[in-house]
């Protein structure tokens, strides 16, 4: 990703879901953060993104903690990645670890995250709006103009059987032999979906269903990783391979 404004990385970034052609009115949450937390004032330059690739360099015209008004100087639409990375992961028992995963996966450039309900899942529910807020904060922190899609929790069977014709992998530890290393199986430049199971792993029946649906069992290396670590490893592997092959 290339930031089009010199010094843009040094500005504070804000998220506004809908950006029109004129001035930008920041949401209540972003306005409060700008004026009460960061104590920004009229005349200060900021960056605003809609999370869909649009970047705006703007200047605060009115610093209001409920509706900060911004004058736009430059607009630039960043091209999305040629390949999407979809991470489907069973939420961890500790919600802190799941939130950490969402934060770091956003920083790594994941395209979408689907919390997945598996047979051995220890956490059956998830607060999607909370995860979305964490993802927004991570997007702004690492200066990315794309916000990942955060789905509602989805049953494993439904996800496996309706995953489409893309590269599909399941990280499964219980097989008689470990599958091939994920890094050797990725086809650069193509969309990827990786399934990461719960702390107790996928059941053999779930793995069999995934394979029947076109998923390839893979390994993430010789160690047995925590769910959140496995998710980040998978996401980072796909991104690195795509970057290296793209030159």
Please, are residues 31 and 64 in contact by the beta-carbon 8 Å criterion?
A: yes
| Across 59-86, average pLDDT | 93
- What superfamily would CATH give domain 85-246? SPOUT methyltransferase, trefoil knot domain (3.40.1280.10)
Comparing CA positions, the residue from 84, 4, 13 lying closest to residue 44 is 13
pLDDT at 244: 82
In angstroms, the CA 39 to CA 33 distance is 8
Comparing CA positions, the residue from 100, 102, 34 lying closest to residue 70 is 34
Pseudo-torsion of CA 109, 144, 112, 125, nearest 10°? 110
Percent of the chain with pLDDT over 90: 79
In angstroms, the CA 145 to CA 79 distance is 10
- What superfamily would CATH give domain 8-77? Hypothetical PUA domain-like; domain 1 (2.40.240.20)
pLDDT at 80: 87
Task: Please state the φ and ψ torsions of residue 94, each to the nearest 5 degrees.
Answer: -85, 115
Q: Helices 227-246 and 95-108 sit at what angle, rounded to 10 degrees? A: 0
Domain ranges (residues) in the chain: 8-77, 85-246
Please, are residues 77 and 97 in contact by the beta-carbon 8 Å criterion?
A: no
pLDDT at 1: 39
pLDDT, tens only, 74-132: 999 999 888 899 999 999 999 999 999 999 999 999 999 999 999 999 999 999 999 99
In angstroms, the CA 188 to CA 207 distance is 25
Confidence grade of residue 164 (pLDDT, cut at 50, 70, 90) = confident
| Across 136-165, average pLDDT | 94
Please, are residues 220 and 178 in contact by the beta-carbon 8 Å criterion?
A: no
Its pTM surpasses 0.85: yes
pLDDT at 2: 39
CA distances 145 to 71, 210, 247, Å, are 19, 33, 22
In angstroms, the CA 115 to CA 163 distance is 14
Higher pLDDT, 139 or 189: 139
pLDDT at 3: 44
Higher pLDDT, 224 or 193: 193
Higher pLDDT, 191 or 224: 191
pLDDT, tens only, 203-226: 999 999 999 999 999 999 888 899
pLDDT at 169 over 60: yes
Percent of the chain with pLDDT over 70: 94
Instruction: Spell out the alpha helix ranges (H) of 66-146.
Output: 95-108, 128-141
pLDDT at 176: 59
pLDDT, tens only, 24-49: 999 999 999 999 999 999 999 999 99
Half-sphere exposure at residue 132, Cβ-oriented, CA atoms within 13 angstroms: 11
| Across 57-71, average pLDDT | 96
Mean pLDDT of the chain: 91
Pseudo-torsion of CA 112, 139, 123, 92, nearest 10°? 100
User: Per DSSP, what are the bridge partners of residue 112?
Assistant: 86, 149
The count of other CB atoms within 10 Å of the CB of residue 45 is 17
Comparing CA positions, the residue from 188, 169, 180 lying closest to residue 238 is 188
pLDDT at 8 over 70: no
């Amino acid at each position: 990703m290339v930031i089009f404004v010199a010094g843009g990385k040094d500005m504070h970034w804000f998220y506004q879901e809908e950006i029109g052609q004129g001035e930008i009115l920041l949401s209540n949450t972003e306005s409060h953060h700008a004026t009460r937390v960061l104590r920004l004032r009229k005349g200060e330059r900021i960056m605003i993104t809609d999370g869909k690739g649009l970047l705006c360099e703007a200047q605060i015209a009115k610093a209001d903690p409920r509706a900060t008004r911004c004058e736009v100087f430059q607009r630039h639409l960043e091209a999305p990645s040629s390949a999407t990375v979809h991470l489907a992961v069973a939420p961890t028992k500790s919600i802190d670890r799941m939130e950490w995963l969402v934060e770091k996966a956003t920083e790594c450039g994941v395209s979408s995250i689907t919390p997945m309900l598996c047979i051995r899942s220890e956490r059956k529910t998830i607060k999607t709006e909370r995860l979305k807020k964490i993802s927004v904060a991570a997007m702004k922190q690492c200066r990315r103009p794309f916000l990942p899609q955060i789905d509602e929790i989805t049953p494993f069977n439904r996800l496996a059987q309706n995953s489409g014709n893309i590269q599909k992998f399941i990280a499964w530890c219980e097989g008689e032999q470990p599958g091939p290393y994920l890094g050797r199986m990725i086809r650069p430049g193509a969309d990827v979906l990786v399934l990461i199971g719960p702390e107790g792993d996928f059941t053999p029946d779930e793995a069999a269903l995934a394979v029947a649906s076109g998923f390839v069992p893979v390994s993430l290396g010789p160690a047995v990783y925590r769910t959140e670590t496995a998710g980040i490893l998978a996401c980072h592997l796909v991104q690195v391979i795509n970057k290296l092959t793209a030159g």
